[in-house]
Chain A
Amino acid sequence: MGLLDRLDNPYETGGIILGTLEDILNWGRSKSDWYLHFGLACCAIEFMSMNASHFDFMRFGIIPRATPRQADFIMITGTVTLKMAERIKVLWEQMAEPKYCISVGSCANSGGPYWQYGYHVLKGVDRIIPVHVYVPGCPPRPEAMEEGMMKLQKLIDQQAIFRKRQKLAEEEKMFANQSKR
């Protein structure tokens, strides 16, 4: 690792890393994601295994939160029923931007085995909230969930926050001008 060598001997190699602020911010964001665990069904049991020994999810810097207000992303693990769907919407709206969603398991992706006769099953959580990463499987293995998590980290790493902020500010300006007229 080149980076660690530099830290070992900062005087010889300068100890300076060059990068954009955006990269560093994204690096910080993606490596300490806090999630709102939304365990619903069978996938939640695999999710528990992932948190326990052998798989140890927390080594990725990912810490479970019980409240949406402290969470960076939500993990929907399991079948979403119509009775539950409105609660998911509310929780999603309570989360602070920037927020992400991982949909775990066939049921959350598309209704899974309940797609045909499940009169009380929502066929895919993406019908009510936006989904960033889909993890297939019924239930997915813990490794698959970790892979999905890493996909999300990659997505966060590549995000252009400043350009987005700029665009948002421009839009706001335009909106303000429009409303003045």
Chain B
Amino acid sequence: MTIEEIYSVLKEKFGDSIGELVTNQPVDPYINVLPDKLFEICLELRDNPELDFDYLMCLSGVDFPETLQVVYHLYSMKKKHKIVLKVTVPKDNPKVPSVEKIWRSADWHEREAYDLFGIIFEGHHNLVRILLPYDWEGHPLRKDYKEPETYHGMRVPY
């Protein structure tokens, strides 16, 4: 299926929760999605036999000046098509539904996004830091992050 067909299937089912389809990019077109119904949309994407997205390639957080964004790259092993979903949330309340129960690969990706960006995935069974130590402060991949002077008595800057 082409991305336009996938978009129309989703738009028909979920209406206003699906934002616009952006195709004027150099490479990948993507679909904007509102966070409120993300779990249902993803479940539909996986379980609808027409769409059959069984493989979550990548889940990344992005920090924009005002907002935080989560990007989902999905692929279908059988149908060989892929789509990109984008969810944008405000910085003061960065809450996104977790899709860990749909694709288990999202488990560690979501923990990583929480660790490095501070995006909170609601419904995740174990949302703790994964790469950094458990007592680390701040989320380093935010653009305004300042590295700490010391950590446990060790000087961090060069």
Contacts and interface: CB of A to CB of B under 8 A. Distances in A.
Contact of A128 (B140, B154, B157): B154
A83 B154 contact: no
Contact of A119 (B152, B154, B155, B156): B156
B140 A119 contact: yes
Interface string A95-115: 000000000000000110001
B158 A111 contact: yes
Contact of A116 (B131, B133, B145, B158): B158
Interface residues of B, number: 14
Given A82-B133, A83-B132, A120-B132, A115 B154 contact: no
Contacts, number: 30
Interface in A62-94: 82-83, 85-86
Given A82-B151, A82-B152, A86-B152, A123 B132 contact: no
**Secondary structure of the B contact surface, majority rule:** loop
A32 to B, nearest CB: 34
Nearest to A83: B133
A115 B158 CA distance: 6
A122 interface: yes
Q: Most chain-A Cβ atoms within 10 A of its Cβ — which of B145, B148, B155, B158?
A: B158
B117 to A, nearest CB: 14
Given A110-B158, A123-B155, 13 more contacts: A82-B133, A82-B152, A82-B154, A83-B132, A83-B133, A85-B154, A111-B158, A116-B158, A119-B140, A119-B148, A119-B156, A127-B154, A127-B155
Interface of B: 131-133, 140, 145, 147-148, 151-152, 154-158
The 3 closest A-B pairs by CB, nearest first: A119-B147, A83-B133, A115-B158
15 contacts: A82-B151, A82-B156, A83-B132, A83-B133, A85-B152, A85-B154, A86-B152, A119-B140, A120-B131, A120-B132, A120-B140, A123-B156, A123-B158, A127-B154, A128-B154
